[in-house]
Copies of this chain bind each other. A is one copy, B any other.
C-alpha cells in the first residue's frame, strides 16, 4: 500500500498531522507493507528566498491581531499531542527544503530528513532557511554532504520534482495541507485525529482490490533467456 502525504515543512497542521499519522501507522498491523512518500507543497510559493521573518509578524501582517492568536491556539493543540511548538520561530521560503527532501527520497532518507526539519523549525525555532542550516540537517539525516551541497547550490536540482508534486496536488483538488492519499484512492484532508488515520489505513487495506495478472507474454528472465513464445506470430 502506498501513502502519499503532501505538506510543507513550515505548516503547523502538517507537523501535527504527520505525527498523528505516524502514530496510526506504528499501530497498523500491515505497516511493513506500507510505503510512505512525502510530496512537496509550498504554502507560500511566491516568497522570495531572502525573505525570512518571525512567523508572528507574517501572521499579524496577513490576518491582523488574530493571526498570532491562531498560532497560539495551534500551539495548544500541539502540546496536547506531546509536540514541542515554539511560537517565536521564523518563516521563509521552503523551496530548498523541498528540493532536498527529493534528494533524501532517492536515498531512502526522506522520513528522517522531514522529521529533522519539523524538529528544527517547530520544536527548536532554529532556521531551516539557509543552505548551511539545510546542509547540517542533511548530514544529520545521513545524506552525503557533497551531494546535498550540490543540490542546494543548483537551484534547478529537483525543481521539476517539486513542481510535479505541486501540480498533482492541484489536480487532486487538495484544499490545503496536509493532504493524505492512500493507494491513489482514499484521500484524507487535514491533520485528522490518529484514530481517523488508523481507520483509513484499515479501510484501504481491507477494501484494496485484488491484483490481477494477465496471461504472460514474452519476457526476458533473470537467466538472460529471451525466448520467442508461441503467442508471438
Contact = CB atoms under 8 A, between A and B. Distances in A.
Interface of A: 2, 8, 11-14, 16-17, 43-44, 58-59, 62-63, 70-71, 73-74, 76-77, 80, 102, 106-108, 144, 147, 150, 154, 156-158, 160-161, 164, 172, 175-179, 183-193, 196, 200, 209-229, 232-233
Contacts of A11: 220, 226
Nearest to A66: B227
A214 B187 contact: yes
A233 B157 CA distance: 42
Contacts of A156: 144
Contact of A77 (B106, B187, B228): B228
Which 7 pairs across A and B sit closest by C-beta, in order of nearness? Answer: A190-B217, A176-B219, A192-B217, A176-B221, A189-B216, A187-B213, A11-B220
B225 A70 contact: yes
Contacts of A147: 150, 154, 157
B212 A185 contact: yes
B187 A219 contact: no
Given A13-B220, A63-B225, A192-B217, 13 more contacts: A2-B184, A59-B224, A62-B223, A70-B225, A70-B226, A71-B226, A107-B160, A108-B160, A147-B154, A176-B222, A177-B220, A187-B212, A187-B214
A213 B185 contact: no
A220 B150 contact: no
Contacts of A211: 172, 184-187
A200 B224 CA distance: 27
Contacts of A58: 224
Given A102-B106, A224-B43, A190 B213 contact: no
